[in-house]
């Protein structure tokens, strides 16, 4: 299984009054991880958008395990859980620099035409990218 990693430094603005990372920031970090995975595989979100498509989020699921705090570094690990005709499910682990898991998550995406938001089979618009995802998916 191919796993991409992206290290981030936690900024003060990402924390709440308790001094821990505000929960909504994990979704932003997941997008950083997803973008890094795509880049690591040799593709780009811009490439998809220039072709007239976007990939909206259909579902997000996060389980928080151990708080992250300002000044710490976090690593976002991202992989493909599954690739179906219309849906891609990404998996994530957000971990402390010592490997302690801070959160686990998944996000589910589809590809749609930018002009009308109608779903399109990913394989039809970019078979190379689609097949790479199928190849490295955790669930085959």
Burial category of 31 from C-beta neighbours within 10 Å (exposed 0-12, middle 13-18, buried 19 and up): middle
Q: Spot the catalytic one: 7, 16, 49, 135.
A: 16
111 three-class SS: coil
> Rounded CA gap, 80 and 61, in Å?
15
Q: Which helix (H) or strand (E) holds 26?
A: helix 25-40
Specify whether 98 is catalytic: no
Q: Which residues are catalytic?
A: 16
């Amino acid at each position: 299984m191919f796993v991409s990693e992206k290290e981030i430094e936690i900024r003060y603005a990402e924390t709440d009054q308790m001094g821990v990372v505000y929960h909504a920031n994990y979704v932003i970090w997941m997008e950083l991880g997803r973008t890094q995975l795509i880049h690591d595989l040799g593709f780009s979100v811009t490439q998809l958008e220039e072709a007239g498509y976007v990939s909206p989020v259909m579902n997000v699921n996060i389980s928080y395990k151990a708080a992250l705090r300002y000044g710490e570094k976090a690593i976002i690990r991202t992989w493909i859980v599954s690739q179906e005709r219309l849906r891609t499910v990404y998996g994530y682990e957000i971990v402390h620099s010592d490997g302690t898991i801070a959160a686990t998550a998944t996000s589910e995406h589809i590809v749609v035409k930018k002009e009308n938001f109608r779903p399109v089979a990913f394989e039809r618009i970019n078979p190379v990218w689609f097949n790479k995802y199928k190849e490295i998916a955790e669930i085959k």
